[in-house]
Amino acid sequence: EIIEAKLYSIAEKKVQKLDLKTKKQIDKILTDLVKTKYLVDKVEQNKKIRNPLPPFITSTLQQEANNRLGFSAKQTMLIAQQLYEGIEVQGHGSIGLITYMRTDSLNLSEKFLTEARDYVNQEFGEKYSINKPRVFKKTNKNAQEAHEAIRPTQVDFRPEIIKNNLDARQFKLYDLIWRRAIASQMAAAQINAVNIDIISNNQYAFRATGQTIAFDGFLKLYPEKSKENILPNLAVGQTMNCAELKPEQHFTEPPARYSDATLVKVLEENGIGRPSTYAPTIHTIETRHYVARDENKRLKPTDIAFVVNDLLVEHFNKIVDYQFTADMEGYLDDIAAGKQQWQNIISGFYGPFADNLAIKEKELSKKTITEEATAEICEKCGDKMMIKIGRFGKFMACANYPACKNTKNITIDKDGQPQPVKEEITAEKCEKCGKPMVKKFGKFGQFLGCSDYPACKNIKNIEIKTGVKCPQCQTGDIVEKKSKRGKTFYSCNQYPVCKFALWSKPNGESCPKCRNLLVFGAKETIKCGNKDCDYTN
């Protein structure tokens, strides 16, 4: 049986993250390991108790719905609102299926706790139940205790029973809320953690780590994403053979961009916003084009975002400070509680702010902030070209605007300098006038346009092929496209004859569970392109 172990220590000295820096070091280790023998040096087993997570509050619901279901914060709150307001359930009329979804309280009603305990006893047996209700403590000092945590209004409305009354997204979110709330009142899981140390006769030690579930407890209803890594039963002193050595090179990577989940988490940690403001905050920075979604649905800052951020940090640093925003939230809570007078709070802020604003209005101009001179000369009027910032990023425009409306797309060269994108003449002929087609750049990327523009305004998309055949029509190719909002998706190039489409890039392989196409997911994972299939790898 094969197990995977990583180099842990050399001559009893633990290998730190950056100890192995050169190829020469790696080659020496590989040479040493080829000549040696191995045996099991140590086997450690520890039993750990894993308690369930608390029921959802607004922030954790948005985070988990983003991580597990791929929903944006806005989408999560929209669907939750529908579940809260009421769904037509056959035989019951319009029923509110969940409690109020804008809450930071972890309280659960006595009625729900009783119903949850009875359900667990009946459905799973007494060993999955707990003797007394599990109570969770709030972590947010400003949490409002007027509401409960987010939970199903009736335990017996199990997701599978009312599935036919919900659309696909409503069902997924309700199922998540229902399972999390019930699981919070189930027995803890028992995990067997195993460490196996394998040592060579020249003092290279490797460690294999794994875990098995001794008792699933709440995991039976609310499984976690981590998989069991089951290790074989090995005895100390047992000899081992090396099947394969894998030297792997890792590069330092910048922190990942924010997703809806990680951004909501940071807002909550810094005390910024309230349950009702997380989703609108993300929606606002999207609609104002400060961020755009990348292919992994993460939030990527735009050119205008850098300009605005740099301006605010340099000239209004006090009000864009994390602590200022968190403190202001606290002041507003004090006003609501009658501990502070709003006039004092507002005057303390507005006086210095208004004075600084008056100074900055005289010092700053939009032109100096958003425009940058270049050495490029406009071929139409001979004036200088300027780099400007528009809704979709930076571009080059004539300084003689509006008399001359010449513009060019720009690209960044190897030295980090902006350069105009030169149109490339292709061998393809325009089907309308016969003139050569040229490669041009628009707000959604490259396209083909007639060289006789503006006399001929014919344009064509440039297909970016994925190398994957369409599984629906079997004749077309899956190509990369952009939606009207600029979002990347993948569809058959035989549209409208074939309307097959995916939001994620396919890798060309089929799902072992449902035979649909597999697609690339977040964090270098592979998942099924069928939204109703839960296969991931």
Query: Hey, which residues are catalytic here?
Result: 100
CA 266/CA 396 separation, integer angstroms: 36
CA 229/CA 225 separation, integer angstroms: 13
β-sheet with 13-14: strand ranges across: 13-14, 6-10, 204-215, 189-200, 38-50, 239-240
CA 198/CA 215 separation, integer angstroms: 28
Say if residues 442 and 427 touch (Cβ distance below 8 Å). Answer: no
CA 164/CA 286 separation, integer angstroms: 34
106 token code pair:
């972890």
355 token code pair:
């004075």
193 token code pair:
């953690």
* DSSP, residue by residue, 289-348: TSEEE-TTS-EEE-HHHHHHHHHHHHH-TTTTSHHHHHHHHHHHHHHHTTSS-HHHHHHH
Of 86, 84, 52, give the one whose Cα is nearest residue 182: 52
Taking the chain, what is the end-to-end CA distance rounded to the nearest angstrom? 22
Alpha helices in 399-510 (DSSP H): none
Which residues are bridge partners to 89 per DSSP? 93
114 token code pair:
């009783």
